[in-house]
Amino acid sequence: MQRLDKLLSEAGVASRRELKGILRAGRVTVNGATVTRGEEKFDEQTARITLDGAPVELRRTVLLMLHKPAGFVTSTDEPGSRTVMELLPERWRRLGALPVGRLDKDTEGLLLFTNDGQLAHRLISPKSEVWKVYYAEHEGAAQEADVEAFAQGVTLADGTQCLPARLRPIADGKCHVDVQEGKYHQVRRMLASRGLPVTYLKRVQFGALELGDLPRGEVREVDPVIFTEV
């Protein structure tokens, strides 16, 4: 059982203070009856709540995938820059969905959002061993020695040691890179450390989840069950 004002504020309807007025005005019903007191408690699993006659969706875990275009920073607030939050429809922002990890401003592709902090942590943590797959275009041509170096764990220019990763050349200047961690500019720096500077980078897969044909700039809801093993 939960207080009605808590349920409504967590659902993103309005702030606790605004809710007082909304409730007093008789705009909220629960299970068919008008309720004017926010202190009344209801079962969040079964309560059917409406505001101005429209059903209110109670807070639930949301997992979303965005096909991030280049030019957007992965941040909730960065003055002077366009952020990925601008691409998230209001109904999901109100449910508290936030980016899971980061993609660089110039990187495109699959960016997850969730309002479940623990799930976000598990998805990012290298301990969870979730593979993130990137498609990269780069100068030069990857050699067998580069594939080997990735498998061993590359040492970046500043001495940072990376976990073992996979470099899968596609053709000269094109490859897939699979990593389980997410250090700053990691894939760009890994390839640069092998003399293969990146000219284009896109994340195409996150664990079992593929970007597929999701158009650039669009968001799709994902069933979190895809990450139950994580």
Instruction: Enumerate the active-site residues.
Output: 104
Q: Which of 19, 23, 63, 103 binds ligand URA (CB under 6 A)?
A: 103
Give min distance, CB of 160 to ligand URA, in A: 13
Q: Name residue, tokens 């990735």.
A: 150
Chain residues 104-133 in contact with ligand URA, contact rule CB under 6 A? 104, 107
Strand-pair partners of 174: 137, 171
Count of residues touching ligand URA (by CB under 6 A): 8
CB under 8 Å to 6, separation ≥6 — which residues?
none
* Cα dihedral 18, 20, 21, 25 in deg (nearest 10): 140
Q: Which stretch binds ligand URA (CB under 6 A): 4-12, 25-33, 101-109, 151-159?
A: 101-109
CA distance 87 to 139: 31
Is 185 a binder of ligand URA (CB under 6 A)? yes
Is 9 a binder of ligand URA (CB under 6 A)? no
Give min distance, CB of 158 to ligand URA, in A: 14
CA distance 110 to 92: 17
Q: What's the angle, vertex CA 224, arms to CA 95 and CA 46, rounded to 5?
A: 60
Residues that bind ligand URA (CB under 6 A): 103-104, 107, 185-188, 201
